[in-house]
A and B are shown apart, each in its own frame.
Chain A
Amino acid sequence: MTRHLYGFALLVGLAVPAAGGAQAVQNATLRQAQQAYDNLEYRQVLSLARAALRERLTGPERARAYELLGFTYGAMDSILKAVDAFKQVVLIDPERQLDPNRISPKAYSAFDVALRQVLLVRQLRVDSTSFVGGRGAVPIRFTVTQPARVVTRAIGTAGGSYVIDSGAWNGQVNLSWPARLPGGDPVPAGAYTVVVEARLGQNTSSASQQIRVSHGNVDTLPSLTSLPGYQYLPETEVPPQSWRPLGLAFLYTGGALVGTLGLENSSLGSSSKRELAVVGGAALVTGFVMTLRKPAPRPAAANILYNRLLRDQIARRNQDIAKENVARRQQVQLTLVPLPKQGGAGPR
Chain B
Amino acid sequence: MSRVASGVAVLVLASRAVLAQQVNVTIGPQFALGSYREVASGLRYQGTGFGGAASARYRRLFAEAEVVRLSLDPATGSSATSGFTATEVSAWVAYDVATYASVEAGFIRRTADPEFDAQSVGAVRVGARSFYEIGPGATVLFRANYLAAPKFSGGGHAAFSVDLGLGLDVRLAGRLHGTAGYTFQRINRKTNPGGTGEIDAPIQETVARVGLAVGF
Contact = CB atoms under 8 A, between A and B. Distances in A.
Interface of A: 244-245, 248-249, 252-253, 255-256, 259-260, 263-265, 267-269, 271-272, 274-276, 278-280, 282-283, 286-287, 289-291, 293, 295-296
A20 B113 CA distance: 131
Nearest to A293: B135
Interface string B178-189: 001111101010
Contact of A287 (B46, B134, B137): B134
A253 B183 CA distance: 12
B184 A259 contact: yes
Interface residues of B, number: 44
Contact of B210 (A248, A263, A282): A282
B37 interface: yes
A342 to B, nearest CB: 80
25 contacts: A244-B134, A249-B140, A256-B142, A256-B164, A259-B184, A263-B184, A268-B39, A268-B40, A268-B202, A269-B41, A271-B184, A271-B206, A272-B35, A272-B75, A275-B182, A275-B207, A276-B182, A276-B206, A278-B208, A279-B167, A279-B210, A286-B168, A291-B135, A295-B136, A296-B137
B71 to A, nearest CB: 15
A303 B213 CA distance: 36
A255 B165 CA distance: 9
B210 A295 contact: no
Contacts of A289: 135
Which 9 A-B pairs give the minimum distances between C-beta atoms?
Answer: A290-B135, A275-B208, A269-B41, A279-B182, A296-B136, A272-B35, A256-B166, A245-B134, A259-B164
B101 interface: no
A268 to B, nearest CB: 4
Contacts of B206: 260, 271-272, 275-276
B170 interface: yes
A210 B206 CA distance: 106
A175 B35 CA distance: 105
B73 to A, nearest CB: 13
Contacts of A274: 33, 35, 208
A274 B202 CA distance: 21
A252 B132 contact: yes
Contacts of A245: 134-135, 138
B34 interface: yes
A245 B168 CA distance: 13
Interface string B7-43: 0000000000000000000000000011101111100
A276 B140 CA distance: 14
B49 to A, nearest CB: 12
B89 to A, nearest CB: 19
A167 to B, nearest CB: 78
A240 to B, nearest CB: 14
A257 to B, nearest CB: 9
Interface string B138-179: 101110100000000000000000101111101000000000
A286 B138 CA distance: 8
Contacts of B210: 278-279, 282
Contact of B182 (A248, A256, A291, A296): A256
A264 to B, nearest CB: 7
B140 A252 contact: yes
A239 to B, nearest CB: 11
A279 B184 contact: no
Nearest to B31: A278
A260 B184 contact: yes
Contacts of B55: none
Contacts of A249: 134, 140
B70 to A, nearest CB: 11
Contact of B166 (A263, A267, A283, A290): A283
A278 B40 CA distance: 25
Contacts of B136: 290, 293, 295-296
Nearest to A297: B136
A279 B144 CA distance: 16
A267 B35 contact: no
Given A275-B35, A286-B135, A265 B182 contact: no
A283 B208 CA distance: 12
B200 interface: yes
Contact of B134 (A260, A278, A286): A286
Contact of B135 (A268, A272, A295): A295
A269 B180 contact: no
A298 to B, nearest CB: 10
B40 A275 contact: no
Nearest to B137: A296
Given A245-B134, A295-B135, A252 B166 contact: yes
